[in-house]
A and B are shown apart, each in its own frame.
Chain A
Amino acid sequence: MPVFDCHTYMTVASFSAAMRTRDQVLATMDRFELDGVALISGLGTTCDFSNGNRLLREVLDEEQGLMGYVTLNTAYVEESLQEQRMYMSKREFVGGILIGETGKPINPKTASDIVNAQRRYGKPIAVIATNSEQVHSVRMLAEEFTQIKFLMLGMGGDDWRAAVDTAKKNLNVHLEISGSLDADKVTFAANSISARRLLFGSGLPNGDPSLYQGLVEDCEILTTTDRKRIAIDNALALFQIHAEVD
């Protein structure tokens, strides 16, 4: 079954060489049989978002399944608007990833200009949410900007029930399944919001795709169609990627 991993980082990780260079990313995709990835710049999300976007763009290649997110930093609103203008219309960028202070939830007020501007491009905004505070932040954004689709990366971590609840109440919220490996997580989410808003992701190189492929395999209520939706169809639809999928 074809797979699109919508949560990956192009980064220098201390304990993994899987995603440091373009060649390593392609080799990792080959190893885990990933047909496409949406890359986030590790440089961009940790330190230098502008150069992170610039360097990431050099790596992206739609033909090879190398897609990416534009990093948007709520501490640099004007500069982020500029980044949106520069990159968001390009096909290889599937959306924006909104960052704030490391490890802290996005402040919806400081993010509002950036999110508002995103409406022009018709592409989703991804937000890393690995705890309940970050989930709450996404909830507030989703309630205020109902025309924008949000992708919650990490599915709330151990607070995944809060993430599912947020998606249940806000139809513009989609969930990427990495994070906690609780055995009942995918079942609970599929029962609550259906498999149509669940997207496969791993957090590469911090997460191994095998873990989350196993998590989906473990979920007995999913039909073959559901599994394909999670693996790739939902990502292609959300990111408006028009690909021939076998």
Chain B
Amino acid sequence: MDIIDINTIFGAFPNQRAESTAEALVDTLSKNEVSQALTLSSWGIHYNDMSGNQETLRACSQFKTHLIPVGTINPMQFWDGDEMLKQIVQTSFGVIRLFPEKQGWPIDYAPFSRLVDVLSELGKPLLERELTLPRATRGWRLWKDSGVPLMIEITRPGDATQLQRIVADYPAPVVMVGVTTSTVVEALTVMRMSEQLLIETHKLAAPDGLGRIRDAVGADRIVFGSGGPGLSVRASLDYVRKSSLTDAEQAAVLGGNASSILQGGR
């Protein structure tokens, strides 16, 4: 089974001293038999999005077989940035990840809505690009009929509701990252309203949580993420492996669903 971890971040953090270099990430992935990870540099979250994106590309080119680059942009600095965003998406990144809580902006936020609008319009030109990607995502072609998949932090009650309103017409998958036991009911409610919304696993902790989410919206809308290497990849894997999901459902959650998203299959 090819495991894809869609939530990893490498680099230094302002409040965390774990070994979180790209090398440590690749080492952790190998130890846990994770084939690939979507990743980005911590610089892009806490320092500057463009600097972070460059750092992400540098690390991913060094570890091509394991790391898939995720771009980020800070809506607080998104002014006249249409061309820049187009460049980010068309030249290097297949997935865009956003960090409202860490960067201090609300999801119901005009610059974010504008960014979503611009990304929606970027779907078609992406036909031109095909990345060279390893095994699980070989043939990754970017969303022939859609747009760029998004990943966005959901940390506070109300976040998922606001997100659903903003991405209601978004033409590509939107993964809610960091949903907890406190926000999962809201997340499931909006997932029933919008098919393109998916849920990532790393903050889910209820013992029968994955089974309940499967029953509510289907296992094909759950994607594995760990928050590694800062957070324990092993713990997040065990949560999925020891859940009540069937083997086939676990395979989908641990890799199949991510692979489909990357290939534009959803």
Contacts and interface: CB of A to CB of B under 8 A. Distances in A.
B225 to A, nearest CB: 12
A218 B235 contact: yes
A184 B238 contact: no
Interface stretch (B16-24, B48-56, B80-88): B16-24
Size class of the B contact interface (CB-based, 8 Å): 20 to 34
A94 to B, nearest CB: 22
A158 B203 CA distance: 13
Contact of B231 (A13, A32, A183): A183
A183 B228 contact: yes
B178 interface: no
Contacts of B241: 210
Given A15-B184, A183-B28, A213-B238, A208 B231 contact: no
Interface string B182-213: 00110000000000000000100111110010
A210 B181 CA distance: 16
Contacts of B230: 182-183
- Chain A CB count within 10 A is highest, among B202, B209, B243, for B209
Contact of A184 (B19, B181, B185, B236): B19
A16 B238 contact: no
Contacts of A217: 234, 238
B13 to A, nearest CB: 10
B205 A182 contact: no
B233 A15 contact: no
Contacts of A31: 207
A171 interface: no
B231 A181 contact: yes
B256 interface: no
B178 to A, nearest CB: 12
A214 interface: yes
Interface in A177-213: 180-184, 203-213
B112 interface: no
B19 A15 contact: no
A237 interface: no
B235 A181 contact: yes
A215 interface: yes
Contact of B208 (A17, A213, A215): A17
A208 B206 CA distance: 6
Contacts of A15: 181, 184-185, 206, 209, 212
A107 interface: no
Interface in B54-91: none
Given A15-B206, A182-B18, A203-B205, A212 B184 contact: no
A28 interface: yes
B253 to A, nearest CB: 14
Closest 8 CB pairs of A and B: A214-B235, A214-B238, A210-B242, A16-B206, A218-B234, A210-B238, A214-B234, A208-B207
Given A16-B206, A16-B209, A218-B234, 15 more contacts: A14-B185, A15-B185, A32-B207, A181-B202, A182-B16, A182-B18, A182-B230, A183-B18, A183-B28, A183-B231, A184-B18, A205-B207, A208-B205, A208-B239, A212-B235
Interface of B: 15-19, 28, 181, 184-185, 202, 205-209, 212, 227-239, 241-243
